[in-house]
Amino acid sequence: MSYQPKSYKISSVESYAKDVKLFKIKCNLNPSPGTFVEVSVPGIGECPLASCSHSRDYLELLTKNAGNVTSAIFNLRKNGSIFVRGPYGKGFPIEELKSRNLILIAGGTGIAPITSMINYIEQNKKLFGKIFIYFGFRDEENVLLKERIKKWEEEFHVFVGLSSDPDSHEYEKGFINDIMERHKPDVENTVALLCGPEIMMNVATGELNKLGMQNENIYWSMERRMECAFGSCGRCQIQDLYACKDGPIFRYDVIKPRLDNENSSQEGR
């Protein structure tokens, strides 16, 4: 684990929608699926980004232009330099997932850590059972990694829902829970991995519970308010846990009571 950022070369930059770019960086960091790195721009600052790949030759970072640091990252170009430290955190429990069916659920840029897991599955197909993938986006213009989704549709059970695009002919209309209700996954001997807005994960988890899946077989990616990556600044604290060092991947039955207590405390103020 590196505590100092190192400079790496950007080998390509792809644009998705108006505010999302995919940076491909030549390096051998190869973060475990679900973990993250800290990306910095000298003089501006740094921000945590989930790995969007699983490779010993490169690192892909899906970046949304949502602040000072990501805005500075957006100005970086192919063949330029980018500073990275890490990887950090605890990713998806790979050993526990082997020989199981998997349900992968992502909303928006939450597709990044799920993509790293899909890359791992593609490289180790014999280790897993059936793969069900559900993606949710706002509209067709904001569908990320579209060319990869087409490829995954040939390998796995893939379903994409658009929450507010009635004119799409390529994807279904509806939120992720609607898509899951129409295309029910197998839940026997199955583990679910979720990443995206918490409200989306809440709704998707409710749908999984209705299908008979227990919370101990559901994992959430809690990439919220992370900053230092060491649990020192306290910004990402969830009761007695820190998203950056105890997560960002948490088993749902472990994180749920802490989220419930946190919400109760906020309502009581």
DSSP the chain: --SS-EEEEEEEEEEETTTEEEEEEE----PPTT-EEEEEETTTEEEEEEB----SSEEEEEEE--SHHHHHHHT--TT-EEEEEEEESB---HHHHTTSEEEEEEEGGGHHHHHHHHHHHHHTGGG---EEEEEEESSGGG--SHHHHHHHHHHSEEEEEESS-TT-SSSEES-HHHHHHHSPPP-TTEEEEEES-HHHHHHHHHHHHHTT--GGGEEEE---S--SSSS-S-TTEETTEETTTT-BEEEHHHHHHHHHHHHHHHHT-
The per-residue b/e assignment along 50-86, b for 16 or more CB within 10 angstroms, e otherwise, is bbbbbbeebbbbbbbeeeebbebbbebeeeeebebbb
51 and 104 together in one domain: no
The stretch 192-221 carries a mean pLDDT of: 96
Confirm whether 21 is domain-assigned. yes
pLDDT given for residue 180 in this prediction: 95
122 and 41 together in one domain: no
Confirm whether 269 is domain-assigned. no
CATH of the domain at 18: 2.40.30.10
Residue 228 in this model has a pLDDT that exceeds 60: yes
The stretch 141-168 carries a mean pLDDT of: 91
Residue that is last in its domain, among 88, 105, 128: 88
Contacts of 154 (CB under 8 A, 6+ apart): none
Report yes or no: 32 and 111 within 8 Å, Cβ to Cβ.
no
Residue 201 in this model has a pLDDT that exceeds 60: yes
Confirm whether 228 is domain-assigned. no
44 and 99 together in one domain: no
pLDDT given for residue 268 in this prediction: 54
136 and 194 together in one domain: yes
Residue 211 in this model has a pLDDT that exceeds 70: yes
Tokens 């960091």 correspond to 29
pLDDT given for residue 232 in this prediction: 84
The per-residue b/e assignment along 229-254, b for 16 or more CB within 10 angstroms, e otherwise, is bebeeeebbbeebbbbbbbbbbbbee
Residue that is last in its domain, among 88, 111, 133: 88
Residue 269 in this model has a pLDDT that exceeds 70: no
Residue that is last in its domain, among 88, 123, 138: 88
77 and 100 together in one domain: no
At 44, the pLDDT band (50, 70, 90 cuts) reads very high
111 and 213 together in one domain: yes
The stretch 77-100 carries a mean pLDDT of: 95
pLDDT given for residue 104 in this prediction: 98
| pLDDT, tens digit (0-9, with 9 covering 90-100), for 2-18 | 678 999 999 999 998 88
pLDDT given for residue 267 in this prediction: 59
> Which segment of 2-6, 36-40, 131-135 scores lowest on mean pLDDT?
2-6
Tokens 């910004």 correspond to 235
59: domain range?
6-88
69 and 100 together in one domain: no
Confirm whether 182 is domain-assigned. yes
How many structural domains does the chain have? 2
At 231, the pLDDT band (50, 70, 90 cuts) reads confident
42 and 103 together in one domain: no
145 and 106 together in one domain: yes
pLDDT given for residue 265 in this prediction: 61
Residue 134, phi then psi, degrees to nearest 5: -125, 125
Integer Cα distance of 146 and 118 in angstroms: 14
Confirm whether 240 is domain-assigned. no
Confirm whether 213 is domain-assigned. yes
Integer Cα distance of 162 and 140 in angstroms: 7
pTM of the complete model beyond 0.85 = yes
110 and 74 together in one domain: no
End-to-end CA distance of the chain: give it in Å, rounded.
40
